[in-house]
Homo-oligomer: A and B are copies of this chain.
Amino acid sequence: MEGDEVTDMAERPPRRRADAQRNEKTLLDAAAAAFVASGIEAPVRDIAARAGVGVGTVYRHFPTRADLVVAVYRHQVEACAEAGPACLANATTPYAALARWIDLFVDLLVTKHGLAAALRSDDTQFDALHSYFLDRLLPVCSQLLDAAAGSGEIQADLAAYELLRGVGNLCIGAESDPRYDARRLVGLLIAGLRQPGGPAEVPAEPGQQADKPG
């Protein structure tokens, strides 16, 4: 009885119609497939066609394209966010942890065609996507950045927002351009973050722990 009450109070009844549940799953699968095939900007009509439903159904389940994208990639963004503290715990220095985590972030972006571009798009249609990434990853990045600044390995005054944006930007188009290696440029950016001649190399001898190997 109390259990029922709690359920009633905490959330709306998940008792959607069977076809609705089925369609949502089908849509997520179709969208994932379409994103892989045509990139994140795959037309809603294509996704609907893949799923064998009408566009109206797409919009019933996902009010905007961005919501669909968020739903498809939610797991991976969560995984990336959760990897932050893990990196900090496992790495030899906070700077190494930051580098490692950024690498995971780059993985996320370059393997999803168009994701980085969508994140940067000022198109209002992607606002939800944008907010979600920031909400979820900004605190993680901030923690890593603070730790690395605290250890004296990097300049202290770069905002996590700016770093995420910069890395995200560097990943734009990386998936479709063989002449462009986003990971490498991000590596340069992270390398540039180190204090030049500052109180660096506190924990160990120079050039050992921070030169993130390819």
A residues within 8 Å of B by Cβ? Answer: 117, 120-122, 158-159, 161-162, 165-166, 169-170, 172-173, 176-177, 179-181, 184-185, 187-193, 196-197, 206-207, 211
Q: Is the CB of B169 within 8 A of A170?
A: yes
Report the minimum CB–CB distance from A134 to chain B (whole Å).
11
Copy count, this protein chain: 2
Contacts of A158 in B (CB 8 A): 184, 188
Contacts of A196 in B (CB 8 A): 191, 207, 211
Contacts of A190 in B (CB 8 A): 192
Q: A172-B172, A191-B192 are in contact. List 19 more A-B contacts (CB 8 A).
A: A120-B173, A122-B173, A122-B176, A159-B179, A162-B180, A162-B181, A165-B173, A165-B177, A166-B180, A166-B188, A169-B172, A169-B173, A187-B192, A188-B189, A188-B192, A188-B193, A189-B189, A190-B192, A191-B196
Contacts of A188 in B (CB 8 A): 158, 166, 189, 192-193
Report the minimum CB–CB distance from A201 to chain B (whole Å).
11
Give 27 pairs: A residue, B residue, CB < 8 Å, sorted on A: A117-B120, A120-B172, A120-B173, A122-B176, A158-B184, A158-B188, A161-B179, A162-B179, A162-B181, A162-B184, A162-B185, A165-B177, A165-B180, A166-B180, A166-B185, A166-B188, A169-B169, A170-B170, A172-B172, A185-B189, A187-B192, A188-B189, A188-B193, A189-B192, A191-B192, A196-B211, A197-B207
Which chain B residue lies CB-closest to A180?
A: B165
Contacts of A159 in B (CB 8 A): 179
CA distance A158 to B184 in the complex (A): 9
Contacts of A162 in B (CB 8 A): 179-181, 184-185
Which chain B residue lies CB-closest to A167?
A: B185
CA distance A181 to B117 in the complex (A): 18
Q: Is the CB of B161 within 8 A of A180?
A: yes
CA distance A180 to B176 in the complex (A): 26
